[in-house]
Amino acid sequence: MNNSLLSIIKESITKYGGTILYEPKRVFALFADLAQDVPKPQKNAFVKCLEHEFAHILKNAAEAERAYCKQQLAQRLHEEEGLDLRLCEETLELLAAVLFGEAKNQKNDNVFSVSQTEQLPVTPTPSTGIKIIPEKGGVIPFCGLDWRILDLDKQNDKALLLSEKVIEKRAYHSSRSSITWAQCDLRSYLNEEFYNTFNANDKALVTETKITTSDDPYFGTKGGNDTTDRIFLLSTEEAVKYFGDSGQLKNRKKEHPFLSDQYDKVRIAKDVKGIDSWWWLRSPGKDSYYTAYVFGNGRISFIGGYVDGNSGGVRPALWLNLQSQFGG
């Protein structure tokens, strides 16, 4: 950790107030005047942390989750900005020291591990010729992937499925621009390139669905026009509804644009390598340049991440026709 840079930041906070941690352009200007002897990569990495709202995210993380949070944010900074991973880790330690006065090697025994993560029931993959009996919360195979059954619409013989794992890392949109779900590149990709990997029979099982994306409940950012999709992402409301609703969203506090409750663990998703990964939701974030997501530890961020963040995990969702799939 660069103690010289730490001292400069703390002195600036004493002089100008803690709000400068939410003003990256101002901090960049202060560094130009006060931190001329500090290596440029260290200064730039800290400013990038502030641009990504990491001060807000880390400040609102539960103390027991702080070490895990720093690890995930460092990995995200490394992937999205192309910075050296060790530099990113040191920068998050610096930010934690500014916020909490933490020692660099502070330990945390409450970081989620695979053994601590709660698992929902799994429906075994059937042998050839044996029907899958779908049940809410179970897992079924479809198109070479495992899918979690989030909901059953028995009246219309269909099931809402979500990929069990993060299937890939991809930006919500190719450029950092004002965008909604209706216009974003990820929606086009899922409903065209990804959908076209299904064979003709499987395509016929995926029903078209009217998708409504609500405005951000904290910042009022517009959700955009309704769409008709075969493949989509969950919204913030759906992530709460289907993984467990503690009432925290309904009784939200405007100054705390995150959701963390007893259902965090079941919202955790792993990528194909078995590593906990943050994953995109389709709902807007603090403005139209940001999109909400589920953090690597299962918390929901309503501030969101920049839409062009290419380390965002993709968990496609779809409604499957059960009558055709399971013989009605």
Closest CA to 65 of 108, 97, 105, 115: 108
Q: Check whether 122 has a pLDDT greater than 50.
A: no
Q: What are the structure tokens assigned to 22, written together?
A: 């939410």
* 56/300: higher pLDDT: 300
Report the DSSP beta bridge partners of residue 317.
162, 232
Q: Check whether 326 has a pLDDT greater than 50.
A: no
Q: How confident is the model over 9-19, as a mean pLDDT?
A: 82
* 154/123: higher pLDDT: 154
Rg, the chain, Cα only:
21
Q: Check whether 115 has a pLDDT greater than 70.
A: no
* 185/90: higher pLDDT: 185
Q: Domain ranges in the chain?
A: 3-100, 139-326
Give the model's confidence band at 2: pLDDT under 50 very low, under 70 low, under 90 confident, else very high.
Answer: low
- Of 29-33, 141-145, 173-177, 236-240, which gets the smallest average pLDDT? 29-33
pLDDT score, position 175: 95
**Contact 305/291 with Cβ under 8 angstroms?**
yes
